[in-house]
């Protein structure tokens, strides 16, 4: 992985929601690959490449906590948005009528590292290459720059981050467990039919290895 990068991230809380637990959120035990990709894309993104997550390292114990959060019980339909564009009718949700409290089982005091490399896309320019993208991501991460605040699963759980230099050694929390099936990412190759991809996740001595994972849908 000659053009690989390692990003360390941490935060007070995180919620990597299991898709089968949508109403009252329950987090996976560890950061998902799609959440890791989203966090790194907040630091640097370019249409000429996409991130491939190679591993996620656990740097603190897995700890859960329960919270109650205010959410709305409905959302604005796309048909209402289209109708509003032609009729000019007011568009919105009255939170005093739609608000509801829901319980969430989330992670606390999380700390990870993300190993990744780059894959070029058809939108890459002639001068683009993995080495160039590595330098740009590394420079932005080293300076703490980002396009928007990175977060840990949900926007209300902001993430701190830093670049792990090539000569640094990080300490993982040595835990092994079978995490069952986990969301890997969403397949956007067909915009009309977005497909979730899952894989069998296993934490081995504090590291979730993703290379060669078999995908399911």
Domain ranges of the chain: 5-68+104-209
% pLDDT > 70, the chain:
90
Q: Are 201 and 185 in contact (CB under 8 A)?
A: no
Mean pLDDT of 54-75: 89
Q: Which residues have C-beta within 8 Å of that of residue 57, sequence separation ≥ 6?
A: 112, 113, 114, 115, 170, 172, 206, 207, 208
Query: How far is residue 56's CA from residue 30's CA, in Å, rounded to a whole number?
Result: 9
% pLDDT > 90, the chain:
63
Q: Is the pLDDT of residue 126 over 50?
A: yes
pLDDT band (50, 70, 90) for residue 45:
very high
Among the ranges given (21-25, 149-153, 171-175, 200-204), the one the predictor scored with the smallest mean pLDDT: 21-25
pLDDT band (50, 70, 90) for residue 88:
low
Q: Which residues have C-beta within 8 Å of that of residue 24, sequence separation ≥ 6?
A: 102, 103, 104, 105
Query: How far is residue 18's CA from residue 211's CA, in Å, rounded to a whole number?
Result: 22
The pLDDT assigned to 41 comes to 96
Mean pLDDT of 54-68: 96
Q: Is the pLDDT of residue 22 over 80?
A: no
Q: How confident is the prediction for the chain on average, in pLDDT?
A: 89
pTM listed for this prediction: 0.86
Cα first-last separation, the chain = 28
The pLDDT assigned to 28 comes to 97
More confident: 93 or 121 = 121
Mean pLDDT of 139-150: 96
Q: Which of 217, 50, 60 has the alpha carbon at shortest distance from 152?
A: 60
Among the ranges given (19-23, 27-31, 134-138, 160-164), the one the predictor scored with the smallest mean pLDDT: 19-23
pLDDT band (50, 70, 90) for residue 85:
low
How many alpha carbons lie under 13 Å from residue 52 in its C-beta half-sphere? 16
Q: Identify the CATH assignment for 5-68+104-209 out of 3.30.70.2660, 3.60.110.10, 3.40.640.10, 3.40.50.2300.
A: 3.30.70.2660
Q: Are 155 and 17 in contact (CB under 8 A)?
A: no
The pLDDT assigned to 2 comes to 56
The pLDDT assigned to 80 comes to 65
The pLDDT assigned to 90 comes to 66
């Amino acid at each position: 992985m000659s053009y690989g990068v390692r990003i360390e991230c941490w935060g007070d809380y995180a919620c990597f929601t299991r898709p089968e637990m949508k109403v009252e959120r329950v987090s996976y035990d560890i950061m998902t690959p799609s959440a890791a990709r989203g966090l790194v894309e907040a630091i640097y993104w370019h249409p000429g490449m996409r991130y491939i997550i190679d591993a996620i390292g656990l740097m603190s114990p897995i700890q859960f906590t329960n919270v109650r959060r205010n959410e709305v019980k409905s959302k604005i339909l796309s048909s209402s948005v289209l109708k509003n564009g032609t009729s000019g009718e007011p568009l919105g949700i009255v939170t005093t009528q739609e608000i509801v409290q829901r319980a969430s089982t989330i992670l606390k005091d999380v700390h990870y590292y993300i190993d990744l490399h780059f894959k070029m896309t058809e939108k890459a320019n002639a001068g683009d290459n993995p080495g160039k993208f590595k330098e740009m991501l590394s420079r932005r991460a080293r300076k703490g720059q980002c396009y928007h605040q990175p977060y840990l699963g949900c926007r209300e759980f902001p993430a701190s981050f830093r670049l792990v230099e090539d000569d640094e050694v990080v300490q993982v929390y040595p835990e092994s467990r079978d995490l069952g099936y986990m969301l890997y990412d969403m397949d956007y190759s067909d915009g009309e039919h977005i497909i979730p991809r899952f894989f069998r996740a296993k934490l081995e001595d504090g590291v979730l290895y993703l290379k060669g994972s078999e995908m399911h849908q």
